[in-house]
C-alpha cells in the first residue's frame, strides 16, 4: 500500500494499512515530515467518543448530530454527517489501541457552546499528551517544527492565563521541553502517529514527490515519483491513498509572489525619489509579475471580444450602438477563470443594436 503525504491523513492511513498486515510505504515530497498538521493546534473534534464516556460525560450520536446540523444550517450531506458520527469515535478508539496514542479530552467547549443545540462544555475536543521526539530515532531531526506552538498544551495555556498572557507561562518547564525536544499540539500529534507507523514497519521516503498515478484498465495500480534525482514507478497491489492536503498550493503561490514584493518595493523607492518614469516602469513590472504568477496557478482572463457569454460574463447594462445586438461593447471589470471554474465573471456592457 502506498500512502502519499506525511500529515495526519497520510500517516494515519499508513499506520492502519500496516496494522492490517500490508507492506506499506509513506512518500513525502518535503525533506521534513508532518505536513501542515505539524503547524496546527492538533485538536481533534470527536463527538460521542469513548474518553468522555470514561469521564462520566453524557453525550450521544443524536446530540452530536443536532449540533452538526446546526453548524451546517442543515444544508450539509446527511450521509457525510452520519459517516463522521459513526467513524470518528471508532477511529479514535482504534488509533489509541493500535498506535498507543495518548489522547485525552481538553478543557475546551464546543465552539458554539452553549448557544447552539446539542453542544457540550467539555469532552469532544481531544489532544495528545506531549510527545518525546527522540522516539523517532533517525527521523527525529526530520519532524517539522511548528511555526506557532509546540511546547505547551492547551490545558496548560488555559491554566497559565491564556495565549495573551505569555509572560506568565511556566518558562522553566517550556525550556526543559525545548531542550529535550518534547512536542505538543499538531507536531506532537503527528509525532505520536509517526512513531507508531515506524514501529509497525512503515517504510518512509522523504524528498519524494509523487507526480502521477499509474492507471491500468481504469484502476490505480501505482504511482510515478521523483526520488533522489530518479523517476521511479512503484506498484501498489492494495491501493494508493492520497493524503496530500491543501496548503502546499498556497506555499507555492506565496513563493511565486515574493519577487512581486521585491518589484513593489523598488517602485516605492522610485516614488520616494520622485522618479516618475521609474515608478511607472516598476508598477508595470509588478503587474506583469503578478499576472504571470497567478497565470502559473491557472488564472486566465475571460475573453470579452464578440458575443455576450452568460456563463462567464455578467451584463450590467445594455446600450444602443452600431455593434451587433448582444455583443460586448465595454468591459467594466475584467473576469477570470481558475482552471475550468469561473472565479469572477467579467462585468460588461452589451449592445442592444442600432435602434435599441
Ligand atoms: C495554524 C493552524 C491550526 C490548525 N488547527 C487545527 C485544529 O486544531 N484542528 C483541526 O482539526 N484542524 C486544524 N487545522 C487544519 C489542519 O491542520 C489540516 O486540516 C490538517 O493538518 C490536514 O492534514 P493532511 O494530512 O490532510 O495534510 P497536511 O498535513 O498538509 O499534509 C500533506 C502532506 O502531503 C505532502 N504532499 C503534497 N503533495 C505531495 C506529492 N505530490 N507527493 C508527496 N507528498 C506530497 C505535503 O508536503 C504535506 O507534507 C489547523 C491549521 C492551521 C494552519
236 Cβ contact list (under 8 Å, min separation 6): 1, 2, 220, 221, 222, 223
Percentage of the chain lying above the pLDDT 90 cut: 79
Residue 40 beta carbon below 6 angstroms from any ligand 1 atom:
yes
What phi, psi does 160 have (nearest 5°)?
-90, 15
Q: Say what the pLDDT of residue 96 is.
A: 98
Tell me the pLDDT band of 249, cut-offs 50, 70 and 90.
low
CB atoms within 10 A of CB 305: 7
CB atoms within 10 A of CB 250: 11
- Residue predicted with more confidence, 32 or 264: 32
Instruction: Report the nearest atom of ligand 1 relative to the CA of 5.
Output: 34
Q: Say what the pLDDT of residue 356 is.
A: 63
Q: Which of 127, 144, 186, 208 to mutate to test the pocket of ligand 1 (most atoms within 8 A of CB)?
A: 186
Q: Say what the pLDDT of residue 331 is.
A: 94
2-245 folds as FAD/NAD(P)-binding domain (3.50.50)
pLDDT mean over 149-169: 94
Q: Say what the pLDDT of residue 276 is.
A: 84
CA distance 235 to 93: 31
Residue 247 has pLDDT above 80, yes or no: no
Residue 271 beta carbon below 6 angstroms from any ligand 1 atom:
no
Q: Say what the pLDDT of residue 267 is.
A: 85
Instruction: Report the nearest atom of ligand 1 relative to the CA of 209.
Output: 42
DSSP 41-108: ---EE-TT-HHHHHTT----HHHHHHHHHHHTTT-S-HHHHHHHHHHHHHHHHHHHHHH---EEE-S-
Q: Say what the pLDDT of residue 248 is.
A: 63
Residue 251 has pLDDT above 80, yes or no: no
Residue 244 beta carbon below 6 angstroms from any ligand 1 atom:
yes
Helix, strand, coil percentages in the chain from 3-state DSSP, rounded to 5: 40, 25, 35
- Residue predicted with more confidence, 220 or 264: 220
DSSP 320: -
Tell me the pLDDT band of 90, cut-offs 50, 70 and 90.
very high
Q: Is 295 in contact with 260 (CB distance < 8 Å)?
A: no
Instruction: Report the nearest atom of ligand 1 relative to the CA of 9.
Output: 25
Q: Which of 11, 88, 244, 251 to mutate to test the pocket of ligand 1 (most atoms within 8 A of CB)?
A: 244
Parse the chain into domains and list their residue ranges: 2-245, 252-297, 301-351
Strands 240-242 and 2-4: parallel
Q: For 301-351, CATH number? A: 2.30.22.10
Distance 288 CA to ligand 1 centre (A): 32
Q: Say what the pLDDT of residue 273 is.
A: 85
Q: Is 84 in contact with 19 (CB distance < 8 Å)?
A: no
Out of 13-17, 94-98, 267-271, least confident range: 267-271
Out of 9-18, 181-190, 294-303, least confident range: 294-303
Residue 12 has pLDDT above 80, yes or no: yes
CA distance 202 to 216: 26
CA distance 174 to 82: 40
Residue 188 beta carbon below 6 angstroms from any ligand 1 atom:
no
Residue 22 beta carbon below 6 angstroms from any ligand 1 atom:
no
Q: Which of 41, 45, 154, 212 to mutate to test the pocket of ligand 1 (most atoms within 8 A of CB)?
A: 41
CA distance 257 to 349: 33
Work out the mean pLDDT of the chain and round it to a whole number.
93
Instruction: Report the nearest atom of ligand 1 relative to the CA of 246.
Output: 30
Pick the closest to residue 103 from 114, 111, 95 (CA basis): 95
Residue 232 has pLDDT above 70, yes or no: yes
pLDDT per residue as tens digits for the range 335-348: 999 887 888 899 99
pLDDT per residue as tens digits for the range 285-299: 888 888 888 888 888
Amino acid at each position: 500500500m502506498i500512502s502519499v503525504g506525511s500529515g495526519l491523513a497520510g500517516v494515519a492511513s499508513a499506520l492502519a494499512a500496516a496494522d492490517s498486515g500490508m507492506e506499506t510505504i509513506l512518500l513525502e515530497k518535503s525533506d521534513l515530515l508532518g505536513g501542515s498538521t505539524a503547524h496546527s493546534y492538533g485538536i481533534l473534534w470527536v463527538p460521542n467518543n469513548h474518553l468522555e464516556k470514561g469521564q462520566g460525560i453524557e453525550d450521544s450520536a443524536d446530540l452530536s448530530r443536532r449540533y452538526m446540523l446546526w453548524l451546517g444550517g442543515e444544508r450539509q450531506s446527511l450521509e457525510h454527517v452520519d459517516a463522521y458520527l459513526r467513524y470518528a469515535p471508532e477511529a479514535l478508539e482504534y488509533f489509541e489501541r493500535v498506535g498507543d496514542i495518548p489522547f485525552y479530552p481538553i478543557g475546551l467547549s464546543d465552539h458554539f457552546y452553549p448557544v447552539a443545540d446539542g453542544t457540550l462544555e467539555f469532552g469532544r475536543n481531544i489532544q495528545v499528551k506531549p510527545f518525546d521526539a527522540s522516539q523517532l530515532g533517525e527521523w527525529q531531526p526530520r519532524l517539522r517544527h511548528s511555526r506557532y506552538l509546540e511546547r505547551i498544551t492547551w490545558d496548560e495555556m488555559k491554566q497559565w492565563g491564556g495565549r495573551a498572557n505569555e509572560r506568565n507561562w511556566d518558562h522553566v518547564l517550556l525550556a526543559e521541553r525545548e531542550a529535550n525536544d518534547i512536542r505538543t499540539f499538531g507536531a506532537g500529534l503527528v509525532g505520536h502517529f509517526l512513531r507508531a507507523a515506524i514501529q509497525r514497519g512503515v517504510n518512509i521516503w522523504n524528498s519524494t514527490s509523487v507526480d502521477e498515478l499509474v492507471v491500468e484498465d481504469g484502476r490505480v495500480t501505482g504511482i510515478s515519483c521523483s526520488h533522489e534525482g530518479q523517476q521511479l514507478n512503484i506498484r501498489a497491489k492494495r491501493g494508493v491513498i492520497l493524503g496530500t492536503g491543501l496548503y502546499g498550493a498556497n506555499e507555492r503561490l506565496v513563493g511565486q509572489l515574493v519577487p512581486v514584493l521585491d518589484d513593489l518595493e523598488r517602485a516605492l523607492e522610485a516614488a520616494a525619489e520622485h522618479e516618475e518614469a521609474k515608478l511607472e516602469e516598476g508598477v508595470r513590472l509588478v503587474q506583469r509579475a503578478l499576472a504571470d504568477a497567478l497565470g502559473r496557478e491557472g488564472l486566465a482572463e475571460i475573453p470579452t471580444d464578440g458575443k455576450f457569454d452568460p456563463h462567464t460574463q455578467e451584463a450590467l447594462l445594455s446600450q444602443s450602438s452600431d455593434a451587433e445586438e448582444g455583443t460586448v461593447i465595454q468591459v467594466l471589470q475584467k473576469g477570470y477563470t481558475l482552471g475550468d471554474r469561473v472565479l469572477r465573471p467579467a462585468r460588461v456592457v452589451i449592445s442592444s443594436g442600432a435602434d435599441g
